[in-house]
Amino acid sequence: MPLADRDEELVQRGRNGDASARRTLVERHVDTVYRVAYRLTRTRSEAEDIAQDVLARMLDYREGWLSPISFRVWIRRAVLNRVIDASRSRQRWSIMRPLDDGLDVADGQPDAEAAAETNQQASAVANAVRALPARQKMVIVLCHYENLSLADAAAAMKTSVGAVEQLLQRAKAALRVELRALEP
């Protein structure tokens, strides 16, 4: 890949006001960001909000990409961080919910939009992955669905390779139990 087309180079050009570099960056990563956000959240709308936030801040000097971490790892880490923030604010909100009798928010449940997985087997897999503890779910998304190496997944999660290995083994063990009926 030519140097000018590398993500890190595009970020620098985008920060200097190059609109075409910004466009390329967004178009190159919008699918990845949305995909990761969707797998880690419960609704399409939440995934869309998170994806927009992450993409909009790619060039930010404070919150955006900075070397030495590679851009492909950084962008996934940014989604994870944003998902964690959203989850925390949802938890805070759910603590307050009993006081709000008038509000009918289906918090913590997949909404109607998430029923895009019409296929029953796909739904079973989605539910099994989403039911995993947060860090196991992240490891499955990064290592299986995003094909990141253990080292890159560890960098994205700011943890050690050994910890990612353990999380992956536990997640796969839990999923094997949950998805026994689906395996050939």
Partner 1 sequence: MTTHTERESEITTAKPLNDALDLWRTPETPAWLATRARARMADATGDVIGFFRRPLFAISLAASLMLGSAVGWVAPLPPVMSSEEIEFTW
- The residues of the shown chain that bind partner 1, judged by CB under 8 A, are 14-15, 17, 22-23, 26-27, 30-31, 34-35, 38-39, 44, 48, 51-52, 55-60, 116-117, 119, 121-122, 125-126, 129, 140, 143-145, 149-151, 161, 165, 168-169, 172, 175-176, 179, 182-184
Closest approach of partner 1 to the CB of residue 47, in Å:
9
Closest approach of partner 1 to the CB of residue 146, in Å:
11
Closest approach of partner 1 to the CB of residue 38, in Å:
5
Closest approach of partner 1 to the CB of residue 173, in Å:
10
The smaller minimum CB distance to partner 1, of residues 38 and 74, is found at 38
Cα separation, 127 vs 45, in Å, equals: 18
Q: 143-164 b/e with 16+ CB inside 10 Å = b?
A: bbebebebebbbbbbebeeeeb
The smaller minimum CB distance to partner 1, of residues 23 and 97, is found at 23
Say which residue the tokens 């920060």 belong to: 15
The smaller minimum CB distance to partner 1, of residues 89 and 149, is found at 149
The smaller minimum CB distance to partner 1, of residues 67 and 169, is found at 169
What is the DSSP-derived secondary structure letter of residue 5? G
DSSP secondary structure of 24-81: HHHHHHHHHHHHHHHHHSS-HHHHHHHHHHHHHTTT-TTTS--TTS-HHHHHHHHHHH
Question: What does the block give as tokens for 128?
Answer: 């099994």
- Provide the 10 A C-beta neighbour count for residue 118: 7
Closest approach of partner 1 to the CB of residue 120, in Å:
10
The smaller minimum CB distance to partner 1, of residues 94 and 131, is found at 131
